[in-house]
Structures are given as C-alpha cells and as structure tokens.
Amino acid sequence: MSLSLNPKALKGGLPGIRQFANQLINYPDAINLTIGQPDFPTPESIKQAGICSIEQNLTTYSHNAGVIELREAAVAFFKEKYDCHYNAVDEIIVTNGASQAIDSVFRTIFEEGDEIILPAPIYSGYEPIIQFCGAKVVYLDTTDTNFQPSAERLEKLITPKTKAVLFNFPSNPTGATISHEQMDELAKVLANQDVYIISDEIYSENTFEGEHRSFGAYPELKDKLFLIHGLSKSHSMTGWRIGFLMTSAKLLAEVVKIHAYNAICAALPSQYAAIEALTNCKDIPSEMNKQYIDRRDYVYDRLIAMGIEVQKPTGAFYIFPSIKKFGLSSQEFAIRLMKEGGVGAIPGSVFTPYGEGYLRITYAYAPSKLKEGLDRLEAFIQTL
C-alpha cells in the first residue's frame, strides 16, 4: 500500500529566499547579504521583561487572542503612531509573528478559485500559501511606477473573482514606500470595491523619509481591512515571534478560530517582552534607523559609482538594483556572484516574474561586512 501526500504540499518548497540563502553553507567564506534580519541585539530591557516572566512562572497558555495587557499596549501604540483605532478586547490578536497572522487570514477568507491581487515584485512568502488555499494570484506591475502600485491599474484588475488585494509597504524586496497622495488614491478605489484588503506593514517603523501612513488610518476601509504588523523588524525581535492582526470584531472572531487551532496562542514570555517593547522602547526603531540610513546611503552610492541602475529605498532595509545590463538572468547572476564573487544576494526572480532582472541586497549588516561585499561585487562585475 502506498500512502499519498497532499499534492499542493508536494508542489511547494521552501521560500525562494531560504532556498537560495541555504546554499551559502557550501560557501563559508562568502559575504552573506541575503536574509532580512536586523543585526542589532534585542534591547536589554525587552530581554529582561521576557526573563522576568519566566522567573515569575508566566509560562502557561494565554487567551487565544493574547494577554489583554499586550493587546491594550498594541492598540495604544498603533493609535498614537498611525492613527489606527482598534478595540483591545475584540479587534486584535497576538500571533506567532506576522507570518502566522498572514496564514490565518488567508485560510479564513480564501475559497477555491478566488483571486488576490499582489503588487509585484513582492515578498515571496505570500504566493505559496495563497495557492495552498486554492486561490490564484494576479500581479499588479509596479516596475515602471517607481515600485508604487497604480490606483488606476488596480481598479482595472479587479473582477468578480477578486477576493482580496494585498499590500506590503515599506516593501520587501524593493524598499519602496507609498506616498500619502498615492495611498489616498488607492483607498478611494478600494472603498468602492467589494474586496478584502490585507496590509502587511511589518516594516512601517523602518520608514526613512516622510511618515508612514497606514491603511488602518482610513475609517472607510476598516470593515474589510486586515492590518498585519509585528516586532521582528522594528525591535530586532525576529526569534521572539510576535505579530499582530487588527481588523473589525466581526472578521476577527472568524480568524481567531483558525489561529486557535493552528497555534493556540503566542508564547507567553514573548508577549510580556512585547509589552516592554511597545511601552518603554518606542524610540528604539528610530535609533536603529539612523544606522540603517547610513548603510543605505553607503550601498546606494557604491552601486551608483559602479554604474548600476538602482532606485534609492525609502524604507525597510533592502535595495533592489537592476542587473539587466549584464545580460544574465537574475538566477544566473546571483549564482555566479556567489560562486565566483563570494557574495550572497537574492535573485529578483524569487519575488515574482516581475523581479526578473533585479537583485535584492539586504543592508541590515555591519558596515565592514557591507564594504567587503560591495568590493567583491564590484570586482565580480568587472569580469562580466
């Protein structure tokens, strides 16, 4: 007797970023600029809050939606920073990172045959889960609009099959942000459409120019908006796995069911650490951003000096230079850069077909590492 597996699982694989990054184990001397993870340690007071919760035996389950103190701290934070108004009792849940929030939302709303619009290029972790839910991705090309989604193009893509539109700004992989004027146009279109809006704003605290505006600041969108956030990037807490999902009480009641069966709750020590992050460490992201901006400017200037076409990022900690001039596919370029140049970076094709011809470089690394990596990149392109 031969046991079978879910064919959708068999078709899938590790996220494209990880598939490529994992190859670097075979090149131990390569400079790794692949993974989007802050290189700063978690701030000391946040670590101590987690340690204190363990010492006080706060290591049990919490409410499925998270401890009320954290939910209150989170809604207060998002109200103060981004003018988002949610009720701590029934309009927010704490998840195991933003990734689990995304998965829970997808599995709550999608039915077989549904369509979702993604501005592209975009983070590679969304599409496999969408497909696992039986839905189909429709791309909104942003490569000729400075990586900002056009409201006019979006409206033309919406059909009776469209169940949702997803945004991820500041953007992974491009580092682009949406101007306030462009967001107003997008909100105007979406307010008149019968579609859900999923806004992954995990990098909002890593906004370098202007102020981040959240889709949660538009009251007319609240009844169909899923606002996703977390502390991984903002407070250098990737391993603590704390995310947030905010939406209307009616929608949240359904998502909590999926979340409860999937994870029960987020780890309690991490939740208490998160309270400290959102109350007494609100200035930490801006301190980190000072260094990110210095690193961004250095990487951008070096790439321009090499004659590489690139848009200056205004958020997150990624830069997305064009490598089209070299006549190689992004996979070929990245593999040769790794093997011959000793630098790990992610091929743009990982981020949908619209990322072909680009390379994602992460600058969340020490300046000395960035210098060595760019020195090697410069030497490599001189061989092409």
Tens digits of residue pLDDT in 288-338: 999 999 999 999 999 999 999 999 999 999 999 999 999 999 999 999 999
Backbone dihedral region of 91: left (phi > 0), alpha (psi from -120 to 50 degrees) or beta? alpha
Same domain, 17 and 63: no
The model's confidence at residue 25, banded by pLDDT at 50, 70 and 90, is: confident
Q: Any idea what the CATH number is for the domain that residue 167 is in?
A: 3.40.640.10
Of 220, 244, 279, at which residue does a domain stop? 279
- Look up residue 14 and give its DSSP letter: S
Same domain, 253 and 158: yes
Q: Report the first-to-last Cα separation within the chain, whole angstroms.
A: 54
Same domain, 201 and 264: yes
- Cite the DSSP H helix spans in 172-283: 180-191, 249-263, 268-279
pLDDT of residue 28: 82
Same domain, 304 and 366: yes
Residue 61 half-sphere exposure toward CB, CA atoms < 13 A: 7
Over residues 157-169, mean pLDDT: 98
**Residue 185 within a domain:** yes
Tens digits of residue pLDDT in 48-88: 999 999 999 999 999 999 999 999 999 999 999 999 999 99
**Residue 1 within a domain:** no
State how many domains the chain has: 2
Same domain, 364 and 251: no
Q: Is the pLDDT of residue 24 over 80?
A: no
Per cent of the chain over pLDDT 90 is 92
Residue 101 sits in which domain range? 44-279
Same domain, 31 and 104: no
Tens digits of residue pLDDT in 102-121: 999 999 999 999 999 999 99
Same domain, 137 and 16: no
pLDDT of residue 1: 55
Same domain, 11 and 134: no
Of 257, 279, 301, at which residue does a domain stop? 279
Same domain, 305 and 374: yes
Amino acid code (one letter) for 178: I
The model's confidence at residue 16, banded by pLDDT at 50, 70 and 90, is: low
Of 255, 279, 303, at which residue does a domain stop? 279
Q: Is the pLDDT of residue 15 over 90?
A: no
Q: Is the pLDDT of residue 20 over 80?
A: no
Q: Any idea what the CATH number is for the domain that residue 23 is in?
A: 3.90.1150.10
